[in-house]
Amino acid sequence: MRLKRKDILTIEELSREEIEMILSTAESLREVSEREIKKVPTLRGRTVINLFYEASTRTRTSFEIAAKRMSADAVNISVSTSSVVKGETIKDTAKNLEAMRPDCIVVRHAAAGVPMMLAANLACSVINAGDGAHEHPSQALLDMLTVRGRLGALEGIKVAIIGDIAHSRVARSNIYGFTRMGANVVVAGPPTMMPPGIEALGCVVAPDVDTAIKGADVVMMLRIQLERQKDAFFPAAREYSRFYGLDEARVRLAKKGVVILHPGPINRGVEISSEVADGPYSLILDQVTNGVAVRMALFYLLLGAVREDAA
Ligand code: CP
């Protein structure tokens, strides 16, 4: 079993069958992380480079752990101590890394489109680990895996995505992913953080947060992305929390047994209260655990065997 593509760049371009293949592969690989010896030999001799131009805790670490659990060699490039600080372009950096014959480069960059540009210029696989406010495909895959693990299916469920939709690559990838898998996605947030025309991605825009959450099977809270905001999009954290934050009263509007998600890092007390983030419906740490399984699956399906299109 393998993907008929060289790269993982967006959820938008993945078919339902491809998403299904990635999720079921991740489900079967999840048990590797529960073993005493957390390693399989599948990707022995393969090399993965993590090239992160933006900060990351969860994504970078889990791509590294995923590669190592599959027995691939994983190398992390620290941009602050690389020749990037001497002015080397990303294309030159990537070309030089490619000359060392990696099998895959995992890239995160503040500019939308960088992973696509690298994929077009490199023979090795490229995985998008987040490009600007565009997409974060492995995050959406781990979110879908987490929800499917708890609810059993994605078809027909209501997913409410709340917060800073405009600056969120997580929102964009999840709207594409959940709708492709047959879920109904509703978004809500401050009007200043709601991109015009977002409905074209397949979601519905709710008039307010309570309407979005009412009867939801899944509530996904988004982080306020202060690093991507050049202007003041909301008056104060306290105001944001009151109108758009998730507290226990709002959780009661959702369906019984609702799944609460957040991609992290959390602004506690702003978009989500600590009681909810640490409460019984929160699967926030399960998302992180599933992130390793999804990334193992991506490596396996891209690098684990000769691609059908290359055969
Ligand atoms: N969810 C996510 O992308 O987290 P990091 O920024 O820590 O990788």
- Reported as a single tens digit per residue, the pLDDT across 269-307 is 999 999 999 999 999 999 999 999 999 999 999 998 654
Measured CA angle at 182 (ends 6, 127), to 5 deg: 20
Q: Are 42 and 304 in contact (CB under 8 A)?
A: yes
Cα–Cα distance measured from residue 196 to residue 184, given in angstroms and rounded to the nearest whole number:
19
**Each residue of 195-242: pLDDT tens digit?**
999 999 999 999 999 999 999 999 999 998 766 655 566 667 788 899
How far is ligand 1, taken at its centre, from the CA of residue 170, in Å? 10
Q: What is the mean pLDDT of residues 67-86?
A: 92
Cα–Cα distance measured from residue 219 to residue 262, given in angstroms and rounded to the nearest whole number:
9
263 lines ligand 1 (CB under 6 A): yes
Which of 16 and 234 is assigned the larger pLDDT? 16
Q: Are 131 and 104 in contact (CB under 8 A)?
A: no
How far is ligand 1, taken at its centre, from the CA of residue 204, in Å? 26
Q: Are 43 and 63 in contact (CB under 8 A)?
A: no
3-state secondary structure of 219: strand
Q: Which residue is closest in CA terms to ligand 1's atom 3?
A: 59
Which of 309 and 281 is assigned the larger pLDDT? 281
Q: Are 213 and 260 in contact (CB under 8 A)?
A: no
266 lines ligand 1 (CB under 6 A): no
Q: How confident is the model at residue 311 (pLDDT cuts 50, 70, 90)?
A: very low
Query: pLDDT value at position 182?
Result: 98
